[in-house]
Chains A and B, each alone.
Chain A
Amino acid sequence: MEIAREKPVLTAREAGLVGCTRCARVWPMGRRTCGRCGSPLHSRDTTSLQRVWAWWIAGVIAYIPANLYPMLVTRTLLERSDDTIVGGAVELASHGDYGVAAIILIASVLIPVGKFLAIAYLAISVHRGSARSLHAKFRLYEVVEFIGRWSMIDVFVVAILSSLVQLSVVASIRPGPAALTFALSVIFTMLSAQSFDTRLIWDGGRKEGK
């Protein structure tokens, strides 16, 4: 519908106002807290990128052991198997459950790795003040924000399996250490995305009047 129609947009900052990111009310520049909802006001959150990178690094670090250690420890009468995230998906696929294997791979590998790359790209391009494809970048951010929580699926699957499959010697499933580090990685990445001040994306390429 709207094709590259760049009409001049007046931002609150340019009008000498500061907008509240929680309730959208505007106040004169310089006010510290929003009089309507009580949130702290920042015209632009200058510490945003630092927090984004801090949580991002924590998330990447937690993601490494999440892939090396077992997520699920399955004991049956005959054998004990320790499944990592990828190993578990491969085993599901070898049983013919391609759909579920795909869900696990998408939620636990594709989405987290994609999120790391996307957040890093956005943070770098905001830092450079790049003005290219602002709409695409914002769309990317929205996708990252929306999809991040869904990586928790695998943690919940582990929780359900390990409480349900407790059949003494016949079969039992216990969570492995990767469940914790994977959950931490998802939480850290969500915090990283939430720390992002999206108004910085839109400032890209604008002449900073300050």
Chain B
Amino acid sequence: MDRDLPPPAQDADLPHSDELMACPTCDALYRAREPEHGAKAICGRCHTVLIAPRRGAGLNIIALSLSVTILVIAATVFPFLEINAAGLGNRTSILDVALSFRSGLLVALSVATVAMIVLLPLLRTLLLLYVLTPVVFDRPPAPHAAGAFRLAQRIRPWAMSEIFAIGCAVALVKVSDLATIGFGPAFWMFALLVVIVILNDSYLCSWSVWKSLEKNRS
């Protein structure tokens, strides 16, 4: 049930700019009209999804974000993978993995890896909780909610937990003929985490969030 939004009818409408929206990727002008729940409004020119509200999205995002927060923290401290070969063994946590670049300049890479697989996903869910909780419960938005949501959207491409998951799979194949591998609890938590992060992002309609932040402020 995806459909295009109507273009503005006449030039006379133009001054009422809070009813209008411009496609962020191609600048086509539309009259913003919320589609029914579950449907998407897409740009007729570049097919970018403009508005995609889903029923109960707010509560779902809050619940999923809470579980992401718990899972990230737990997955970071519990053992992640262990390896055994020729009577020797080693066990590692996600934090060990992220901090494995130890020598010289490679330390910078450790910092970036910690950020991309632990800190940024965590920061993003905390920001979403901060922004959405008051809005969902019909309270006025929290102070600096707009800045917080802007930051959350901005770090989205840099939160790479799903890419790390594929990296795990490749690494496991690489060492599987060298040694036997054991999965720690954190491995399964991380697998679950990836699914929840992706699900969570699919609930988030940024246009609806901006709209509600604007509405509840006044």
Interface residues of A (CB under 8 A from B): 7, 9-13, 15-28, 36-39, 92, 95, 97, 99-100, 103-104, 135, 138, 149-150, 152-157, 159-168, 170-171, 174-175, 177, 179-180, 183, 187, 190, 194, 198-199, 201-203
Does B150 have its Cβ within 8 Å of any Cβ on chain A?
Answer: yes
13 contacts across the A-B interface (CB closer than 8 A): A13-B27, A18-B22, A19-B24, A36-B146, A36-B213, A37-B210, A100-B170, A149-B163, A153-B166, A156-B171, A165-B90, A167-B89, A177-B105
Contacting pair A179 B101 (CB below 8 A): yes
Contacting pair B171 A167 (CB below 8 A): no
* CB < 8 Å neighbour of A12 from B27, B97, B99: B27
**Bound Cα distance A7, B44 (Å):** 9
Interface residues of B (CB under 8 A from A): 7-8, 11, 14, 17-18, 20-29, 32, 44-46, 50, 81, 83, 85-86, 88-90, 92, 96-101, 103, 105-106, 108-109, 112-113, 116-117, 146-147, 149-150, 153, 157, 160, 163-164, 166-168, 170-171, 173-175, 177-179, 206-207, 210, 213-214
Contacting pair A198 B14 (CB below 8 A): no
* CB < 8 Å neighbour of A163 from B29, B50, B97: B97
Given contacts A164-B90, A179-B109, contact A38 B150 (CB under 8 A): yes
Contacting pair B147 A38 (CB below 8 A): yes
Given contacts A19-B21, A23-B206, A179-B101, contact A9 B81 (CB under 8 A): no
Contacting pair A153 B45 (CB below 8 A): no
**Bound Cα distance A42, B197 (Å):** 32
Q: Which residues of B contact A7 (CB under 8 A)?
A: 44
Contacting pair B26 A167 (CB below 8 A): no
Contacting pair B8 A15 (CB below 8 A): yes
Contacting pair B175 A149 (CB below 8 A): no
Q: Which residues of A contact B22 (CB under 8 A)?
A: 11-12, 17-20, 24, 26
CB distance from A210 to the nearest CB of B (A): 14
CB distance from B159 to the nearest CB of A (A): 9
**Bound Cα distance A10, B177 (Å):** 60
Contacting pair A156 B150 (CB below 8 A): no
Given contacts A12-B27, A25-B18, contact A100 B174 (CB under 8 A): yes
Contacting pair B100 A152 (CB below 8 A): no
* CB < 8 Å neighbour of B171 from A22, A28, A160: A160
**Bound Cα distance A165, B81 (Å):** 10
Q: Which residues of B contact A18 (CB under 8 A)?
A: 22
CB distance from A92 to the nearest CB of B (A): 7
Q: Which residues of B contact A152 (CB under 8 A)?
A: 116, 160, 163, 167
Q: Choose among A19, A159, A175, A194 the residue with the greatest number of B CB atoms under 10 Å from its CB.
A: A159
**Bound Cα distance A123, B178 (Å):** 46
Q: Which residues of A contact B117 (CB under 8 A)?
A: 156
* CB < 8 Å neighbour of B170 from A103, A162, A199: A103
Contacting pair B210 A36 (CB below 8 A): yes
CB distance from B212 to the nearest CB of A (A): 11
Given contacts A15-B11, A37-B150, A104-B170, contact A160 B97 (CB under 8 A): yes
* CB < 8 Å neighbour of B175 from A27, A164, A198: A164
Contacting pair B26 A198 (CB below 8 A): yes
Q: Which residues of B contact A26 (CB under 8 A)?
A: 17, 20-22, 29
Q: Which residues of A contact B23 (CB under 8 A)?
A: 19, 24
Name the residue of chain A whose CB is nearest to the CB of B93.
Answer: A163
Contacting pair B113 A20 (CB below 8 A): no
**Bound Cα distance A135, B45 (Å):** 8
Q: Which residues of B contact A9 (CB under 8 A)?
A: 7, 26, 28, 44-45
Contacting pair B108 A160 (CB below 8 A): no
